[in-house]
Structure formats: structure tokens, C-alpha cells
């Protein structure tokens, strides 16, 4: 690590993924001195490759739309659904509801390139991003977080101080794990197995970049995401017990068995060549009991991760990064980093997460299908599309009433607000 780096910063960010880089970009643009500490050397591999239409807004706020338009990333105009027998739904084109030139066109990205672009963008705005340096611990003074201790590539440790630290460390949720705030979802308990192909079949023209969601029996599903360089990302999501049934242990065997469960996936992969590892996650859904405490805020997956099914992760990471950047800027200006200041941030983020969570619960309910709902309530099609596209802070009361006729939906979890200072001065 650069020995010249100052010890004191206006803000420190853990992780240079989409959430961290988004927040860093804005904070640097506001003129603050911001340090991003990233464990890996970029470009680095990461899963999470399909954007949804409402990612447009945070990308626009970051000034990245023209960069995205001229990038190598495959353009995504639609999503389609495929039954286990190979029967394919009509592609749903986003431009049937949104403006063709803006929200309706999104992208399939490879994260090595996408995240590198975001981190370099933050650097170009003045943020200092140090790689190959991991955060080891949060510095505490009473209830407050006042900085981080880091370890650089040669094992050297350093302390950096700031009145506010943003945890954007992704699914490992650095702060939440250490502060005992990690909570499982009462119902969502899926795992994923995935790999990559070259030369696998893809549709032509407008449909070339379509995401395909292909169902396997027992409520599992495949993603099929066409990427640049003739690459396809393909993975299966289901409960762990289902994927390991019969004692199957290796990710490759799990994956191959499920490929045989969906005709469309099998046909599309038959012309391709698999390459690289087979990846496997553990159960990934989690919520943080709090969004932060004095001197600490959480964004992106470090705050909550639901499920990959509707590809909302990157949109939420970028959006929360932008929101965190704005909220932290206001805190720096006011010189007030008390927990209550971040309550509106948390309320807005949680509202969006809870809306998406309801839709995810419905999706995994065997009695639910979007087609049945829209056949009986055609007027609900627009709301369903909006929620699926990532327009999450809307009033969906009527939609939830309608869906509850088919499937139970969860109440909002009473979590995610800032942790107030304790009277004893010891944060739990």
C-alpha cells in the first residue's frame, strides 16, 4: 500500500464493488476526501451479471450511460420464461412499457470489466481506491465507529480514521457479521450452481441479449445470460436439499443433472463448450438487523441480499451506493454522524427490498404464476412489470392484495434501521 496515504479521511469505504464505487464517485464529486479499501486486485471475477431496466437511474446519476452504451456489454431488451418441457413464453420487451432510448435498454455485463469501470470512474472523480488491502476490523470509540484497521499485500497493517465508514463489502457483510446483525430470511433458503459456456446457442437480433429464466421441476430455475465474446453464464438455483438429492456432492454433477431437467437449456448448451470452474454458493439470503450505527453505514449486499431470481442485486447495490453517497455528504456537511440521520436512507431502501421480497416469495410459491394473475387481473400487468424492472419505491398495495389471493406474502421484517446509541455507551 502507498505509504504516503493519509491516515485521516472524510469517509472510508470497505469494498470497491458497485455499491462502494458508486458511493465513492459521488462523495469525491462533492469534494470529500474518500478512501476505498478493496481486498482484491481488479479486474476480478464476480457473479451477478444481468442488469434490470431501473439500473438506468443510478448509472445516469454516476454519469456512466454513454460509457455503457459504447461498451462491449451485450444489450438486453427482454426477459423470457421457459417451461421444463421447453415451451417458451413470448419475450417480454421492456420498450413495451418504458422509453426505448433510456430505461428500456439495459445490459448483460461481465463483472471483471464492469466493476473495474466503476472503480476507475470513482478514481477519475478523485476517490483513492487501494486494492489488495483488506479491512481487518472496525475501530470503535464507545458506540461510534471511527475508522478501520487494514492489512496490505505484504501483510503490513495500518489504521485509517474517518467520522464515517461505509460498509460495501458485499455478501460477507463485514460489519453486520462482526456486530452480530446478520439474520436469515424466515423462508428464502436457496443455493446456486453455475458455470460458463462458449458457442452455446443464442437468439438473433433484439433477442440476442435476452435473459432466459428456465424452470426445473420443484421450483428450481436456470438463468441463461448471453455475454460478450460468445460467452454464456448459466446457473441453476434451488434448495440445497433438492440439488444434492441422492447424495450428489460435486457442483458439476449437480449442474449436469439439472441441465437434463429442462429441454431448452439442454438444447441451447448442446452446441457449446463449457469452460472454467463450476461455482457453488451456500444459502445466500440475509438481512442486516441494522443499517449502521454512529459513524457506520451499510450499502449493497452488505446490507441485504435477497435472491438472484429477478436480477435486482446490482440495481440495489448501485442505487444504495448513490443514496449512501448523498446521505453521507449531508452528514459530513452537518458534521453529524449520529445513527438517526440515516433513518430515511434505511426506510427507503427497506421499502424497496420488501417490495422485491414479496415478489420473490410469490415466485417460489407453487400456486403462483404471473400468467394466472394477469389473466384474471390484466390491469395488474403494469405494476408487475414495474416491480420486476426495479421501480421498487412505489405503492404496490393493490398488487399485493391481488397476489395474496393466490399465495401468502410475508409481512415486512422489522429490521434494517440504524442502531441507536445505548445508554451505557456500548453498542451491541
Ligand X SMILES: Cc1cc2nc3c(=O)[nH]c(=O)nc-3n(C[C@H](O)[C@H](O)[C@H](O)COP(=O)(O)OP(=O)(O)OC[C@H]3O[C@@H](n4cnc5c(N)ncnc54)[C@H](O)[C@@H]3O)c2cc1C
Region of 24-32, 158-166, 297-305, 379-387 interacting with ligand X (CB under 6 A): 297-305
Cα Rg for the chain, rounded, in angstroms? 21
Whether the link from the prior residue into 43 is cis, omega within 30° of 0, is: yes
Binding mask 186-225 for ligand X (x = CB under 6 A): ------x---------------------------------
Among 19, 34, 130, 234, the residue binding ligand X under the rule CB under 6 A is: 19
Q: Angle 399-405-408 (CA atoms, 0-180°, nearest 5)?
A: 90
Nearer to ligand X, 345 or 373 (CB): 345
As measured in angstroms, the least distance from the Cβ of 402 to ligand X is: 26
Cross-strand partners of 189: none
Q: CA 106 to CA 56: how far, in whole Å?
A: 7
- Which residue in 301, 354, 383, 386 binds ligand X (CB under 6 A)? 301
Scan residues 232-261 and list those touching ligand X (CB under 6 A): 235
Closest CA to 309 of 379, 258, 253, 358: 358
Q: Is 18 in the site for ligand X (CB under 6 A)?
A: yes
Site membership for ligand X, residue 391 (CB under 6 A)? no
Contacts of 69 (CB under 8 A, 6+ apart): none
Q: Do 179 and 427 form a contact (C-beta atoms < 8 A)?
A: yes
**Distance, CA of 370 to CA of 410 (rounded, Å):** 18
The reply to whether 104 sits near ligand X by the rule CB under 6 A is no
Q: Put residue 319 in one of left, alpha, beta given phi > 0 → left and psi -120 to 50 → alpha.
A: alpha
Beta carbons of 145 and 49 less than 8 angstroms apart: no
The answer to whether 294 contacts ligand X (rule: CB under 6 A) is no
Query: Mask: binding to ligand X, 114-153, rule CB under 6 A, as x and -?
Result: --------------------xx------------------
Backbone φ and ψ of 210, nearest 5°: -65, 140
From candidates 1, 5, 29, 46, binder to ligand X by CB under 6 A: 46
Applying CB under 6 A, among 15, 209, 226, 295 the residue interacting with ligand X is: 15
Least distance in Å: CB of 321 to ligand X? Answer: 7
Q: Which residue in the set 9, 11, 17, 392 belongs to the binding site for ligand X (CB under 6 A)?
A: 17
Closest to ligand X by CB, 121 vs 134, is: 134
> Exactly one of 58, 170, 325, 390 binds ligand X (CB under 6 A); which one?
170
Out of 25, 50, 80, 105, name the contact with ligand X by CB under 6 A: 50
Biggest alpha carbon distance in the chain?
Answer: 65
Residue 176 near residue 182 (C-beta atoms within 8 A): yes
In sequence order, the β-bridge partners of residue 275 are 196
163 binds ligand X, rule: CB under 6 A: no
Among 308, 228, 213, 307, CA closest to 262:
213
CB of 310 to ligand X, least distance (A): 9
- Check residue 313 for interaction with ligand X (CB under 6 A): yes
Interaction between residue 158 and ligand X (CB under 6 A) = no
d(CA 114, CA 121): 11
**Cα three-residue angle 318-303-346, rounded to 5 degrees:** 85
Could you tell me which stretch among 177-185, 302-310, 324-332, 415-423 binds ligand X (CB under 6 A)? 302-310
Nearer to ligand X, 24 or 402 (CB): 24
Pairing of strands 286-288, 304-305: antiparallel
Closest by alpha carbon to 41, among 98, 146, 112?
112
Four-residue CA torsion sign, 411, 413, 418, 421 = positive
Output the CA torsion sign for 308, 27, 295, 117.
positive
Q: Which of these segments, 86-94, 267-275, 298-306, 323-331, binds ligand X (CB under 6 A)?
A: 298-306
The single residue among 314, 323, 356, 403 that binds ligand X, judged by CB under 6 A, is 314
Does position 167 interact with ligand X (CB under 6 A)? The reply is: no
Residue 168 binds ligand X (CB under 6 A): yes
Q: Tell me which stretch binds ligand X (CB under 6 A): 57-65, 69-77, 169-177, 356-364.
A: 169-177
Name which of 134 and 287 has its Cβ closer to ligand X.
134
Provide the binding-site residues for ligand X, judged by CB under 6 A.
14-20, 37-40, 46-50, 134-135, 168-172, 174, 192, 235, 281, 284, 300-302, 305, 308, 311, 313-315, 317
Amino acid at each position: 500500500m502507498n505509504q504516503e496515504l493519509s491516515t485521516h479521511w472524510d469517509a472510508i469505504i470497505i469494498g470497491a464493488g458497485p455499491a462502494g464505487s458508486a458511493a465513492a464517485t459521488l462523495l469525491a464529486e462533492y469534494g470529500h476526501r474518500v478512501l476505498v479499501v478493496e481486498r482484491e486486485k481488479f479486474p476480478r471475477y464476480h457473479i451477478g451479471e444481468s442488469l434490470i431496466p431501473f439500473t438506468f437511474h443510478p448509472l445516469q446519476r454516476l454519469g456512466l450511460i454513454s460509457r455503457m452504451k459504447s461498451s462491449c456489454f451485450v444489450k438486453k431488451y427482454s426477459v423470457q420464461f421457459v417451461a421444463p418441457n421447453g415451451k417458451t413464453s413470448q419475450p417480454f420487451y421492456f420498450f413495451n412499457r418504458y422509453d426505448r432510448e433510456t430505461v428500456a435498454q439495459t445490459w448483460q455485463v461481465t463483472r471483471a470489466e464492469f466493476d473495474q469501470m466503476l472503480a476507475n470512474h470513482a478514481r477519475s472523480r478523485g476517490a483513492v481506491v487501494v486494492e489488495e488491502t483488506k479491512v481487518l476490523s472496525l475501530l470503535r470509540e464507545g458506540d461510534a465507529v471511527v475508522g478501520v484497521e487494514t492489512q496490505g499485500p505484504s501483510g503490513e497493517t495500518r489504521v485509517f480514521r474517518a467520522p464515517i465508514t461505509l460498509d460495501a463489502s458485499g455478501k460477507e457483510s463485514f460489519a453486520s457479521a462482526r456486530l452480530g446483525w446478520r439474520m436469515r430470511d424466515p423462508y428464502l433458503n436457496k443455493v446456486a450452481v453455475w458455470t460458463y459456456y462458449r458457442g452455446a446457442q443464442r437468439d438473433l437480433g433484439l433477442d440476442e441479449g435476452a435473459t432466459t429464466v428456465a424452470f426445473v421441476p420443484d421450483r428450481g430455475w436456470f438463468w441463461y445470460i448471453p455475454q460478450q465474446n460468445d460467452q454464456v453464464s448459466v446457473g441453476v438455483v434451488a434448495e440445497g436439499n433438492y440439488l444434492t438429492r441422492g447424495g450428489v456432492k460435486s457442483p458439476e454433477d449437480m449442474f449436469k443433472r439439472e441441465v437434463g431437467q429442462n429441454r431448452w437449456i439442454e438444447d441451447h448448451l448442446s452446441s457449446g463448450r463449457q469452460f472454467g470452474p463450476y461455482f457453488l454458493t451456500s444459502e445466500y439470503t440475509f438481512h442486516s438487523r441494522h443499517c449502521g450505527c454512529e459513524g457506520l453505514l451499510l450499502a449493497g449486499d452488505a446490507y441485504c441480499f435477497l435472491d438472484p431470481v429477478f436480477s435486482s442485486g446490482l440495481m440495489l447495490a448501485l442505487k444504495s451506493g448513490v443514496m449512501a453517497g448523498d446521505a453521507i455528504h449531508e452528514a459530513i456537511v452537518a458534521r453529524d454522524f449520529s445513527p438517526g440521520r440515516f433513518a430515511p436512507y434505511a426506510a427507503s431502501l427497506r421499502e424497496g427490498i420488501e417490495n422485491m421480497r414479496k415478489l420473490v416469495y410469490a415466485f417460489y410459491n407453487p400456486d403462483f404464476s404471473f400468467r394466472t394473475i394477469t389473466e384474471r387481473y390484466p390491469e395488474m400487468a403494469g405494476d408487475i412489470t414495474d416491480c420486476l424492472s426495479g421501480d421498487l419505491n412505489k405503492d404496490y398495495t393493490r398488487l399485493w392484495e391481488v397476489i395474496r389471493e393466490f399465495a401468502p406474502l410475508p409481512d415486512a421484517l422489522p429490521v434494517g434501521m440504524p442502531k441507536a446509541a445505548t445508554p451505557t455507551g456500548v453498542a451491541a
